[in-house]
Amino acid sequence: MNQAITIDGVTKRFGRNAVLNDVSLEVPTGVVFALLGENGAGKSTLIRGMLGYHAFDHGKVSVCGVNPAADPLSVRRLVGYVSDAPGLYEWMTVAQTGWYAAGFYPPGFLRAYDTLTADFQLPQSAKIRDLSKGMRAKVALSLAMAFDPQLLILDEPTSGLDPLVRRSFLESMIDRAAAGQTVFLSSHQINEVERVADWVAILHHGKLQVVASLDELKESVTHLSFSVRDSLLALPPSVDQLEFISQSLRGRSYSILARGCTPAVLEALRHDENLFDIKAVRPSLEELYIGYMAPPADTPPSAYSRESLHYRPRRDATATQESAERH
């Protein structure tokens, strides 16, 4: 499979602060790829480096086959980009903005821009300074999509959009991917991203926690919950077969997000007389996100768990992606 974006071992520091720490991922062509992470996780820093706005301290990047550090202008000619704070000329009208930008693009740009702004119901004669945040976002999106780029890179693209427009926009990204184009977006709208994303990556404190196809990720992870009758008894040995992502304990009730919850493991748990109310379901993207954001520290030992129901080392994010591609 061809890759629209390849990032290999990228690190970026600002002073002593490592904003990105050895990040590696690949984005296949023709997919909607969602980058998730908290504010300050390094999402915007990664995106701006992909476009050549700053250099990374270590690592290699290829965007549409071009090295952005060596030839940033070529990358920007191929990519439609919307930042989280788009820069627009305040004194221009919506129509003038499209007319001005059309001078940098092939014929057909202005016609496509006019169609997009009409679809967004933007007033052509309104000045940018008089537009709301959501309307400015619509102008920026229209500019990014009007030249039909191979790759769309969107940093919080739906911020400020009303729910109906946000949903319509995100669903339109599926159509672009179906036509062979690639969409790379960062977003906090996890529930809405879940409906449109083919692949997801979770970035936490500058480190990549996981990168995989969404279907493979949800199929390989189980949200397991159960309660114990006697908290002094150890948990059954089958628990040791789980590869923990996160866990929590409230009273006598366990909630676990883990890989490796096979039918055999579940059967063993159900035959343990000390366990009851056992449930195993596929997690939502939001549950996966919260699980991978949990602190990767060992749980303190306790008398009522098998070796403290400890965390297992999470698989390397790149290995997870390779596993997904094999499936």
Could you tell me the CATH number of the domain that includes residue 184? 3.40.50.300
C-beta atoms surrounding 264 within 10 Å: 10
Domain containing residue 246? 217-326
Residues 156, 297, single domain; the answer is no
Using alpha carbons only, how large is the chain's radius of gyration in Å? 23
Over the stretch 226-279, which tens digit does the pLDDT of each residue have? 999 998 888 888 888 899 999 888 889 999 999 999 999 999 999 999 999 999
Residue 296 lies in a domain: yes
Are 79 and 160 part of one and the same domain?
yes
Same-domain status, 237 and 315: yes
Question: Do the domain assignments include residue 211?
Answer: no
In this structure, the answer to whether residues 49 and 29 fall within a common structural domain is yes
Would you state the pLDDT for residue 254?
92
Examine the fold and report which residue of 205, 238, 263 is the final residue of a domain before the chain moves on.
Answer: 205
Number of independent structural domains in the chain = 2
Q: Which of 167, 184, 205 is the last residue of a domain?
A: 205
Instruction: Please list the ranges in the chain whose pLDDT falls under 70.
Output: 1, 159-160, 295-327
Q: How far apart are CA 158 and CA 304, in angstroms?
A: 46
The answer to whether residue 210 sits within a structural domain is no
In this structure, is residue 180 part of a structural domain?
Answer: yes
**Domain C-terminal end among 183, 205, 227:** 205
Say yes or no: 102 and 130 in one domain.
Answer: yes
What was the pLDDT predicted at 46? 96
Instruction: Kindly state whether residue 212 falls inside one of the protein's structural domains.
Output: no
248 and 188 both lie in a single domain: no
Confidence (pTM): 0.83
Please indicate, yes or no, whether residues 152 and 242 belong to a single structural domain of this protein: no
Kindly state whether residues 201 and 226 are assigned to the same domain: no
Residue 300 pLDDT: 32
Same domain, 155 and 260: no
- Asked if the structure places residue 263 within a domain, the reply is yes
Residue 111 sits in the same domain as residue 14: yes
Both 113 and 178 in one domain: the answer is yes
In this structure, are 166 and 20 located in the same domain? yes
For the chain, the three-class secondary structure string (H helix, E strand, C coil) is CCEEEEEEEEEEEECCEEEEEEEEEEEECCCEEEEEECCCCCHHHHHHHHCCCCCCCEEEEEECCECCCCCHHHHHHHEEEECCCCCCCCCCEHHHHHHHHHCCCCCCHHHHHHHHHHHCCCCCCCEHHHCCHHHHHHHHHHHHHCCCCCEEEEECCCCCCCHHHHHHHHHHHHHHHHCCCEEEEECCCHHHHHHHCCEEEEEECCEEEEEEEHHHHHHHEEEEEEEECCCCCCCCHHHHHCEEEEEEEECCEEEEEEECCCHHHHHHHHCCCCEEEEEEECCCHHHHHHHHHCCCCCCCCCCCCHHHHCCCCCCCHHHHHHHHHHC
Coil vs helix vs strand at 320: helix
In a domain, 282, yes or no: yes
